[in-house]
């Protein structure tokens, strides 16, 4: 008998992102308000106001070929028109974002071949050969930060082994944090 029975889908489990932490800022720190959820292991650096702000990571759900004019990335990256999306030392401007239920389709012309699963990063400006992250990374977040929650106190990690498949950080950004390793 199914009287008063309601089936609720279980929430998608949060992936394991952190393998081992061996250094963090005592007491954590405050990260600025964001219009999108910031997953744990997102790199943060000081913005123009001197406050910690996220460096967006855009993980590819489909491989990119050199002639492609769009890329497909995971939902929840916070991608917006006007963002500079980079891989290696090349950054290009995002001109359009089409949001689908399972991914975001972003209009950019990277002119590169990139494997599926690669995390791209938010760059400071468009550049063909000397792109760098929008902020100098200092820490990675140890907690997920909900969107539109105001400036939030969070665990700040500066020494850890992170899972490269699930960490919300590009290789280029992780390389600027000498005690953060992607394993």
Q: pLDDT per residue over 141-167, tens digit each? A: 999 999 999 999 999 999 999 999 999
**Structural domain boundaries, residue 127:** 56-132
Cα–Cα distance, 147 to 126 (Å, whole number): 27
Whether residues 158 and 182 fall in one domain:
yes
Cα–Cα distance, 176 to 168 (Å, whole number): 15
Whether residues 117 and 160 fall in one domain:
no
* pTM, entire model: 0.90
Whether residues 72 and 113 fall in one domain:
yes
Whether residues 162 and 126 fall in one domain:
no
Cα–Cα distance, 41 to 72 (Å, whole number): 21
What is the CATH classification number for the domain harbouring 108?
2.40.30
- Here the tokens at position 57 are 């990571």
Alpha-carbon torsion (72, 78, 80, 82), positive or negative: negative
Whether residues 63 and 124 fall in one domain:
yes
Residue 179 lies in a domain: yes
Q: What is the DSSP string of 37-52?
A: -B-TT-EEEE-TTS-E
Tally of domains within the chain: 2
Whether residues 71 and 28 fall in one domain:
no
Whether residues 40 and 27 fall in one domain:
yes
Whether residues 29 and 68 fall in one domain:
no
What is residue 13's DSSP assignment?
P
Q: pLDDT per residue over 95-146, tens digit each? A: 999 999 999 999 998 889 999 999 999 999 999 999 999 999 999 999 999 9
């Amino acid at each position: 008998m199914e009287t008063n029975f309601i089936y609720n889908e279980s929430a998608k489990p949060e992936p394991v992102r952190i393998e081992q932490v061996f250094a963090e800022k005592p007491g954590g720190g405050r990260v600025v308000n964001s219009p999108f959820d910031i997953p744990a292991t997102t790199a943060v650096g000081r913005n123009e106001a001197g406050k910690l702000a996220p460096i967006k990571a855009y993980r590819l759900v489909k491989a990119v070929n050199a002639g492609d004019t769009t890329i497909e990335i995971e939902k929840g990256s916070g991608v917006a028109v006007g963002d500079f999306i980079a891989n290696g030392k090349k950054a290009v401007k995002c001109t359009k974002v089409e949001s689908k239920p399972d991914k975001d389709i972003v209009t950019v012309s990277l002119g590169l071949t990139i494997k599926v699963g690669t995390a791209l990063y938010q760059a400071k400006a468009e550049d063909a050969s000397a792109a760098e992250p929008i902020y100098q990374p200092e820490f990675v977040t140890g907690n997920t930060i909900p969107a539109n929650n105001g400036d939030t106190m969070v665990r700040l990690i500066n020494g850890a082994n992170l899972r490269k498949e699930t960490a919300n950080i590009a290789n280029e950004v992780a390389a600027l944090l000498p005690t953060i390793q992607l394993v």
